[in-house]
């Protein structure tokens, strides 16, 4: 049973709403200060991704967020109503591609296919991530969260991104491990 649940219309303006709520709930959960910034960013990335997915496939469907404060962990799940596998950048072994691999910015290399033209405008302007691959949000989450699980939504609809931070026993560091 989640501690707090939130449903919000698939609007970019309410990603911040979800972020504010996650901040408040994590504070109540006693999550250390260092992890709070990571939680804010990870929840933002997951919610922004869910908004994009819902707007594309199920614009009337809300994004569903559940936050659970457990004795040893803090978990946030974000569920969308898109197609399974939307905006997941699979790595060679099925895992997520690292952010650094998604950002192929060496001057001498040819622009990766996902790099949009600087002048792109029009109907996709709202979804324009500035030429970033959609999978970057998830790759960023991987760098911020202790455990990430991506699974099919209930009734096979959409995707659930579950992010878990292990909460303090004395001596456990929350500094991200260099990867």
**For binding to other proteins (CB under 8 A), which residues are involved?**
12-13, 15-16, 19, 37, 40-41, 44-45, 48, 51, 99-100, 103, 105, 118, 125, 128-132, 136-137, 139-140, 143-144, 176
DSSP state of 80: -
Cα-based distances in Å from 9 to 85, 91, 169: 21, 31, 37
**Shortest Cβ distance from residue 139 to other proteins (Å)?**
8
Identity of the residue, 3 or 57, whose beta carbon is nearer to other proteins in the bound complex = 57
Shortest reach from residue 108's CB to other proteins, in Å: 13
Q: For 26, left (φ over 0), alpha (ψ -120 to 50), or beta?
A: alpha
Nearer to other proteins, 41 or 150 (CB): 41
If the CB atoms of residues 42 and 61 are measured against other proteins, the closer one turns out to be 42
> Which ranges in the chain belong to alpha helices (H)?
15-28, 33-57, 99-102, 136-144
Element (H, E) at 130: none
For other proteins, the closer of residues 112 and 154 by Cβ is 112
Minimum distance, C-beta of residue 116 to other proteins, in the bound complex (Å): 8
Give the nearest distance from C-beta 76 to other proteins in angstroms: 15
Minimum CB separation of residue 156 from other proteins in Å reads 27
- CB of 44 or CB of 164, closer to other proteins: 44
Cα separation of 55 and 62, whole Å? 10
Dihedrals phi, psi of 49, to nearest 5 degrees: -65, -45
Tell me the torsion sign for CA atoms 83, 86, 88, 92.
positive
Q: Least distance (Å) from other proteins to the CB of residue 134? A: 9
**Residues 60, 27 contacting (CB under 8 angstroms):** no
In this complex, which beta carbon is closest to other proteins, that of residue 60 or of residue 121?
Answer: 121
């Amino acid at each position: 049973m989640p501690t707090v649940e939130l449903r919000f219309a698939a609007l970019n303006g309410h990603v911040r709403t979800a972020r504010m709520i996650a901040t408040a709930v994590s504070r109540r959960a006693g999550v250390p200060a260092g992890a709070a910034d990571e939680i804010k960013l990870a929840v933002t990335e997951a919610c922004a991704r869910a908004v994009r997915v819902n707007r594309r496939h199920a614009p009337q469907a809300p994004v569903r967020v559940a936050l659970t404060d457990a004795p040893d962990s803090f978990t946030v799940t974000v569920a969308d109503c898109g197609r399974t596998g939307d905006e997941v950048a699979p790595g060679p072994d099925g895992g997520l591609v690292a952010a650094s691999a998604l950002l192929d910015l060496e001057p001498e290399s040819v622009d990766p296919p996902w790099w949009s033209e600087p002048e792109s405008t029009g109907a996709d302007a709202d979804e324009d991530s500035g030429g970033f691959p959609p999978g970057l949000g998830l790759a960023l989450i991987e760098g911020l969260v202790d455990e990430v699980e991506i699974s099919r939504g209930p009734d096979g609809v959409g995707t659930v991104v579950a992010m878990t931070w292990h909460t303090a026993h004395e001596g456990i560091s929350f500094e991200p491990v260099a990867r």
